[in-house]
Amino acid sequence: MLHVHAHPDDESSKGAASTARYVDEGVQVLVATCTGGERGSILNPKMDRPEVLENITEIRRKEMDAAREILGIRQEWLGWIDSGFPEGDPLPPLPEGCFAAQKVEDAAAPLVKLIREFRPQVVTTYDENGGYPHPDHVMCHTITVAAFEAAGDKDAYPELGEPWQPLKLYYHHTFHYERMKALHDGMVARGLESPYAERLQDWKPDPENERRITTRVECAQYFAVRDKALLAHATQIDPDGAWFAVPLEVHQEAWPTEDYELARSLVESELPEDDLFAGLR
């Protein structure tokens, strides 16, 4: 299985518990990280120091190494430069040479090469909105879809190795309304303050989006592994912040799955699924 992510830490915040489950079952899992996260903000106030910012590239690589060991995966850098998250009205242009400014055919090339070398059956990434509208996340989606198709085409990138066609492509659906509402209700039922109360007030349910979820992977027993991998990304994850405001046992009881959308499949499987390898076993 190959997960394609935009930045170091995305592999731990999206699908990490199901990753840990599959690793435990003997599946070989590789994470392709598109960028080094060089332009990412320091989101943990305890790490917001000048010496950290000055060495952010090296530090984020070390954090990725730690998370990789915790999850028991392989990991490869695709070598692109973080685009940063543009803000303002109008939005500023993308930095020259960054990942999101590349031509799709160029940006997809190292991923095609990796797919042909690793030969995954299953590939995961984000939906067309990137999960959230960071330009690197959107570009990550775009190149993954392109590489999924091109890797098996003998006429595409012939210099990058023997063709290999993955059989299933999934999109992560992590921060969706039903899950947030279940976690919120789980907190309220225990008399605890929910970190999602204000967000849910302004969040109109979108049944069409919820229906996109085709596959729910039971992995509650691996949530602790996910949390440990998240904490390895110390510049990005505040242990006293919103990520950990909901206790582990509430997560496990209120929403024990990680959720995906089967976006492309070359094998038959019955929907809804409970396994990313449904139809391949």
In sign, the C-alpha dihedral spanning 37, 156, 169, 275 is negative
Mean pLDDT of the chain: 96
Residue 243 has what pLDDT?
86
Confirm whether residue 172 is marked as ligand binding.
Answer: no
Query: How buried is residue 279: exposed, middle or buried, by Cβ count under 10 Å (0-12/13-18/19+)?
Result: middle
Q: What is the CA radius of gyration of the chain?
A: 19
Residue 222 has what pLDDT?
98
> How many Å apart are CA 173 and CA 206, to the nearest integer?
13
Residue 89 has what pLDDT?
86
Residue 57 has what pLDDT?
94
Question: Within its chain, how far is the Cα of 84 from the centroid?
Answer: 17
Q: Which strands, in side-by-side order, build the sheet including 74-80?
A: 74-80, 30-35, 2-5, 122-125, 168-172, 257-265, 215-218
Per-residue pLDDT tens digits for 58-116: 999 999 999 999 999 999 999 999 999 998 888 899 999 999 999 999 999 999 999 99
Per-residue pLDDT tens digits for 185-210: 999 999 999 999 999 998 988 888 89
Residue 48 has what pLDDT?
93
Give, in order, the Cα–Cα distances in Å from 272 to each of 121, 147, 253: 19, 26, 21
For the segment 25-31, the average pLDDT, to the nearest whole number, is 98
> How many Å apart are CA 223 and CA 217, to the nearest integer?
12
Confirm whether residue 7 is marked as ligand binding.
Answer: yes
Confirm whether residue 10 is marked as ligand binding.
Answer: yes
Segment among 75-84, 156-165, 235-244 with least mean pLDDT: 235-244
Residue 75 has what pLDDT?
98
Residue 178 has what pLDDT?
96
CATH 3.40.50.10320 fits 2-174+213-265, yes or no: yes
